[in-house]
Amino acid sequence: MLKNLCAISLSGLLFLLPFSKGFAAELAGEVVRVKGEVTAVRADGAKDSLEKKSKVYVGDKIKTGGDGQTLIQLKDQSRLIVRKDSEVEITAFQYEKKDTDKVETSLISGALRAVSGKIAKGNPASSKYSAGTATIGIRGTDIEIAFIGDGQKDRAGIYNYVHDGATNMKLASGEEADIAKEKSGFVPKDLKPGEARLQVLDTRPAFIQGTGFDTLIQQLTNPRLPSFR
Residue 196 is assigned to a structural domain of this protein: yes
The pLDDT, as a whole number, for residue 142 is 96
pLDDT tens, residue order, the chain (229 aa): 544 444 434 444 444 444 444 445 899 999 999 999 999 999 999 999 999 999 999 999 999 999 999 999 999 999 999 999 999 999 999 999 999 999 999 999 999 999 999 999 989 999 999 999 999 999 878 999 999 999 999 999 999 999 999 999 999 999 999 999 999 999 999 999 999 999 999 999 999 988 999 999 989 888 764 443 3
CA distance 89 to 75: 16
Whole-number Å distance between alpha carbons of 88 and 11: 37
Helix/strand number for the chain, H first, E second: 4, 18
Whether 148 maps to a domain, the answer reads yes
What is the number of domains present in the chain?
1
Torsion of CA 224, 203, 103, 156, to 10 degrees: 140
- Structural domain for 125, as ranges: 74-221
* Cα–Cα distance for residue pair 24/57, rounded to 1 Å: 9
Q: How far is CA 226 from CA 93, 214, 222, 229, in A?
A: 33, 21, 12, 10
CATH of the domain at 100: 2.60.120
Q: What is the pLDDT of residue 221?
A: 84
Query: What confidence score (pLDDT) does residue 24 get?
Result: 57
Whether 90 is covered by a domain: the verdict is yes
